[in-house]
Amino acid sequence: MANDLYERAVERWPDVAWPRAAFVSHLRGESPPYGVDLFLAGAAGTRVPQAWARIESEIGRQAQAVFERQPKADCTAAELWAETVARLIDEQPDEMPLPDGRRPARIVRYRGLVSLANYMILVGRRLAIQRHRRPGPTASTDATTAGGGDGDSSAFDVRDNRAAAPSAGLDEAEAVAALADAVQAAFAALSSEQKFLIVMVYRQGMRQKGAGALLGWTESKTSRTLTRAMEQLRRALCKAADTPWTPTVAAAWEKFVQRSWNAVEVPAAAASV
């Protein structure tokens, strides 16, 4: 498994010189769904310049296109991308130093549970939320903005990059929480009847017919309403993640479900039964 992933990664990024033994050690015997991306992030984490050049050329444009649609952003997409890179290129304090004395970059926390592109987009979105909540100076972009982004490692030299980055860590558990926030907002926008049906059917285990009867609804109306409500929530989650259903998205869904049960008010029609 590890050797196969390594060969696929080297075939995709032949210019990223990261030893096989280093990748196998970084893999930790795991079989993540995005193991090839884990190679690129691991190489970037150990500050292989070509890895950061590939991230810039292959992910930078995609991420900035998503950031352009970021609501309430107080910076440009390019600035948010630069800040995202600054966050992930900053030193991870609990890692052992590399041979040159620096510590690995924060991106080593990525474990391949979601694509690297979507992971970096989630980091950027979280940073945008932090900026919106706490206005103030942003991370310096001078040392993190690359030249042409054409894959030339000299255009993205990370040897002495110590750009300021927010102090709080962001790993995949936090990405799950951020996605859960998105679907929580979609849940809040549902009608009280939709929320009630979701809780009664998916938490209490009541049949749709019985839950609908509490509202005075027919079985067909109950089924249509519940189907539409669940589809709205799934769309909200997948839109926030910019990815199909993955383990990270599934974990976010479960986190949302755990949060939401206590936030439901019983509709007047059901309360009067």
Task: Return per-residue pLDDT of the chain as tens, 273 residues.
Answer: 788 999 999 999 999 999 999 999 998 888 888 899 999 999 999 999 999 999 999 999 989 988 887 655 567 889 889 999 998 999 988 888 998 899 999 999 888 877 898 888 888 877 877 766 554 444 433 333 333 333 333 333 333 233 333 333 445 565 666 667 777 778 888 888 988 888 888 777 788 998 899 889 999 999 999 999 888 887 777 666 655 556 666 666 666 666 665 555 556 555 444
Taking CB atoms within 8 Å and a gap of at least 24, the contacts of 238-243 are: 239/182, 240/178, 240/179, 240/182, 240/183, 241/114, 241/118, 241/122, 241/179, 242/66, 242/118, 242/121, 243/114, 243/115, 243/118
Say which residue the tokens 């997409």 belong to. Answer: 77
Distance CA 198, CA 29 (A): 39
Domain with CATH 1.10.10 in the chain: 175-271
β-partners of residue 91 are 105
Provide the H-helix boundaries in 171-246. Answer: 172-188, 192-202, 208-214, 219-241
Distance CA 146, CA 52 (A): 10
User: Is domain 175-271 in CATH 1.10.3470, yes or no?
Assistant: no
What is the rounded radius of gyration, in angstroms, for the C-alpha atoms of the chain? 22
pLDDT at residue 270, rounded to an integer: 53
Cβ–Cβ < 8 Å for 249, 243 = yes
Provide the whole-model pTM: 0.55
Cβ–Cβ < 8 Å for 57, 150 = yes
